[in-house]
Amino acid sequence: MSSEEIEYVYLDEHPFMLRTEPRPTGSFGPFPMRTNYDKLLYGSGIAYISGLSYGGIYGTIRGLQTAQVPKFNVRVNMILNQMTRYGPWAANSMAMMSNFLKIND
């Protein structure tokens, strides 16, 4: 099988070739972005993931501080409870703040 027999399909091509003008392109950090909507979704996703990780770390520290019980299972349960309390809270808050800042930008 030679390279002349292979047909390449590019991501920009429409299956019915309806689009004649090229899509708008831009950049947002290291990733190419097409529209402001892409930038909004990218920014809120990054903010959500970072808020989830920072909230989980904060919850772990809080759980270790408040779990003064000698039993290991109870300590782990208290740490996990604190992680699931602060992780999603921080993630949702940061994602909403990034959306608000991007919309008003």
* Burial of 87: CB neighbours in 10 Å, binned 0-12, 13-18, 19+: buried
55 belongs to a structural domain: yes
Hey, what are 46's tokens? Answer: 């990054």
Q: Can you give the pLDDT at residue 34?
A: 63
> For the chain, what is the domain count?
1
**Per-residue confidence band for 6, with pLDDT thresholds at 50, 70 and 90:** low
15 belongs to a structural domain: no
pLDDT digits (tens, 9 = 90+) for 13-38: 556 666 556 555 565 566 666 677 77
**Per-residue confidence band for 10, with pLDDT thresholds at 50, 70 and 90:** low
pLDDT digits (tens, 9 = 90+) for 68-90: 888 999 999 999 999 999 999 99
d(CA 97, CA 93): 6
Helix (H) or strand (E) holding 33: strand 31-33
2 belongs to a structural domain: no
92 belongs to a structural domain: yes
Q: Can you give the pLDDT at residue 41?
A: 79
- Which structural domain, as residue segments, surrounds residue 31? 26-103
End-to-end alpha carbon distance in the chain = 53
Block residue for tokens 């290291």:
30
Q: What is the mean pLDDT of residues 85-102?
A: 87
pTM of structure: 0.63
d(CA 100, CA 42): 14
